[in-house]
Amino acid sequence: MPKALATFGAGCFWGTQKFFNREFKTAITKSRVGYMGGTTANPDYRGVCTGNTGHAEVLQFEFDDGQVQYADLVRFFFRMHDPTTLNQQGNDRGTQYRSVIFTHSDEQQKAAHAVKEEMKDKWKDIVTEITPAAQAGTFYEGEDYHQDYLDKNPGGYCNHRLRW
């Protein structure tokens, strides 16, 4: 089974994980929520929530690229959150909730930019950042209680929804 890595920030990582895992249940082989793109080493949730670490809440997952194309993951990313609100998703506000794609190869970088361009037919003024993961720095895994949070707490807060 060919494996690749994907990392997306689409607001609160609880909903991001729930929506991706539900949509791509057989293609995603492992998913973890955490923090990426900041300057503070070993951040924790409280620190990230201050906005002072520079990190975004993200979902990072391994997927079988024989089952799903990376471009289709990016299309779903644009479908399940609002990429036009700077540092905000619904009630969640702050740089940690920014819309961001951290790419893990030149091919992913090209695909992410191509899909972002394609999405201009559906979204005006997209603010999504596309950054090579190598430039963004380390992915720091989130605390255990954040992992699969909405599966463990089905009535928990989630502002994500499919737009089309």
- The residues that are catalytic are 12
Burial of residue 32 (CB within 10 Å: 0-12, 13-18, 19+) is middle
Q: Is 66 left (phi over 0), alpha (psi -120 to 50) or beta?
A: alpha
Q: Tell me how many degrees the CA angle 120-22-74 measures, rounded to the nearest 5.
A: 25
Q: Residues 63, 29: contact at Cβ < 8 Å? A: yes
9 burial level (CB within 10 Å; 0-12, 13-18, 19+): buried
Q: What are the respective helix, strand and coil percentages of the chain, to the nearest 5?
A: 35, 25, 40
Q: Give the distance from CA 146 to its chain's centroid.
A: 14
